[in-house]
Amino acid sequence: MTTSITSTTTRAYVRLAKLDIVDYYLGVLVVGTLLPAALRFDGGVLATGGLFLLGEVFVIAAMVALDDLTGFRDGSDVANYAPDDRKRRRYRKPLVAGTLTEDQVLRFAWVTGIIGALLWIAAMITAPHTPLWTVVLIGVTYFFSVQYSWGVKLSYHGFQEFFIAALGWALVLAPYGLAVGSLDGDVVVQALLFGLGPLLFGVYSNTNDIKGDRRVGRPTVAALTSPRGNMRFIFAVTAVEAALIVCGPWLGTVWWFPVALLPTLLLRALQLRIAFGQGDILRARLLGIRIHRVTVVALVVVNLL
Q: How far is CA 98 from CA 16, 79, 203, in A?
A: 12, 15, 27
Q: What's the CA gap between 8 and 24, in Å, rounded?
A: 26
pLDDT of residue 84: 46
Q: What's the CA gap between 220 and 160, in Å, rounded?
A: 6
Q: What's the pTM?
A: 0.91
21: region left, alpha or beta (phi > 0 left; psi from -120 to 50 alpha): beta
Query: Is-contact 60 145, C-beta < 8 A?
Result: yes
Query: Is-contact 110 34, C-beta < 8 A?
Result: no
* N-terminal to C-terminal alpha carbon distance within the chain: 54
pLDDT of residue 91: 64
CA 36 to chain centre: 25
Written as one string, the DSSP assignment of 182-206 is ---HHHHHHHHHHHHHHHHHHHHHH
The residue ranges of the chain whose pLDDT is under 70 are 1-7, 76, 78-91
pLDDT of residue 11: 86
pLDDT, one tens digit per residue, over 18-70 is: 888 899 999 999 999 999 998 999 999 999 999 999 999 999 999 999 988 88
